[in-house]
Structures are given as C-alpha cells and as structure tokens.
Amino acid sequence: MTPYELLILVGIIAVARLLLSIPGFVVRSHGKTRTIAHEYLDPFIIAGLAAWLLITFVARTYYIPSASMVPTLAVGDVLLVDKFEYRFHAPHEGDVVVFPPPLPSPDDFIKRVIGLPGDTLRITNGVVYRDGVALREPYESAPPGYDLEIRNYDIYVNDGGGWEPLDPSQANIPPRSQWTAPNRIPPHCFVMLGDNRNDSEDSHIWGFAQDAGRFASGPRRGEPAGFTGRAFLIFWPPSQVRVLHG
C-alpha cells in the first residue's frame, strides 16, 4: 500500500468516525456507536496516521521484482528502506539504494552504488576499477561481460561490438558544463550497477542516477531526481531475514 492509498483509507475511516459521533446516531444505537468509535476506529486512525508518517518520512518497504541483484537479493524478497539517512549525507560506495531511474518506469529501481561524484571509473576484463584501484566485490554474481569507461564527458561501453558512448537522448548524461573533468563522475551523479551484472538494467545502459536536482538528459529529462533511501534489512521471507551491508 502506498502512502497515498493509506491516507485515503484513514480519511474514509475518519469520516465514518465523524458520522458515528453525530448525536442522532448515538441515540438510535443506544450508545453502541460511541463504543465502536472509541474501541476500534480511534485506535485505527491513530495507528494509520502514525504508519503514514513512518512510510512517508522514515522508512518504507520494497518488493524485489527481478533477478538483477542476485545473489544479494532474490525475487520476492521484501526489504525495509531507510528514507531518513540520506537527508544528512550522500550515499556511500557499496550502499544498496532504492531510487527513481532516469527512464520511464512505474516502480523505483534497486541497485548498488559503485561510483561516486568525482571518481574515475572503468570496467576492464570483468574487474571494476575506481580511481585506479580494483574493487573487491564478494556480492557480485559474475563478472560483467562488457567493458566500461567514463571519458570524454560520457559513459562508453564495449559489449563486444566496439566502444560506443551512451546516447544522451536515451540515457542520463549531463552536458559538459556540469562536469568537473571529462573522465570523472559529475556532481550529484552516481554509477549504479546490479550485483547480477549480466542481467541488470543499470548505469551501463541508462547512464547516471542522481541524488538531487532534475535529470539532465534522457527520456525523463527535466523530471525530479533523487534517492528514495538505503535498503538495510530483508524482513521477508523469514528464512532470508538479515541486515544488508555495503
């Protein structure tokens, strides 16, 4: 249930509560409506408002719909997402993040932060190098079957057919004026990859995710960007319950 749907439900119950408090209702029911309101509806309204505040500003649940984060996350896992943490600091490398992608989608995406603003980044022979240092990635399902480099104010990908830059009409690639260097990730931009590298629609296809501002290019150019929050706990199914670490 979305925060909007929950608020509508609480509103409907609040209207019912108001009707039950009308003197005519109370008299005809010999006071039973007042008892129902106090014992059942009032607590539900209070709990509903508390839940709405929680999922709007503090935490929310997220259902895993695809295999892009295998083996870390399986299809059907349900996560708790901290929506509060990124109000105080930017995402860290290795965080598992829920965010609106820079391409049309009815749902948020979930990927791992691999590259931060100001980093250099390349993938060569299945190894990710950030600022020239090879990353140790025990969470990875298999090495990526493509090479990647950030250079010439773009993300270049070689999936076996030669190097090609991402097309700004199809991917979120900021204009040169927003870059600090031609080979470094621009401000507020992040490279996000799935742990299942060869079965993941991520930054090697649609460019950079952003933690603020509006998407610079691509199908959602001009729309608000940001991060929904950090996934920190698998709480369903019970056999998979565990804290997620970067």
- Catalytic residue from among 66, 105, 111, 217: 111
Going 51 to 52 to 58 to 62, the CA torsion angle's sign is positive
The CA-atom distances, in angstroms, between 165 and each of 35, 46, 176, 232 are 67, 53, 14, 34
Q: Tell me the three state secondary structure of residue 146.
A: coil
Q: How far is 167 from 127, CA to CA, in rounded Å?
A: 24
Q: Which of 223, 231, 225, 208 is nearest to 77 (CA)?
A: 231
Residue 128 has which token pair?
A: 């990710």
- Catalytic residue from among 21, 29, 66, 68: 68
Residue 111: active-site member = yes
**In this structure, are residues 112 and 194 in contact, taking their beta carbons and an 8 Å threshold?**
yes
Q: How far is 218 from 173, CA to CA, in rounded Å?
A: 7
Residue 83: active-site member = no
Residues with Cβ within 8 Å of 223's Cβ and at least 6 positions away in sequence, in order, are 214, 215
Residue 45 has which token pair?
A: 């309204």
DSSP H helices, 138-224, are 203-206
- Mind telling me the catalytic residues? 68, 111
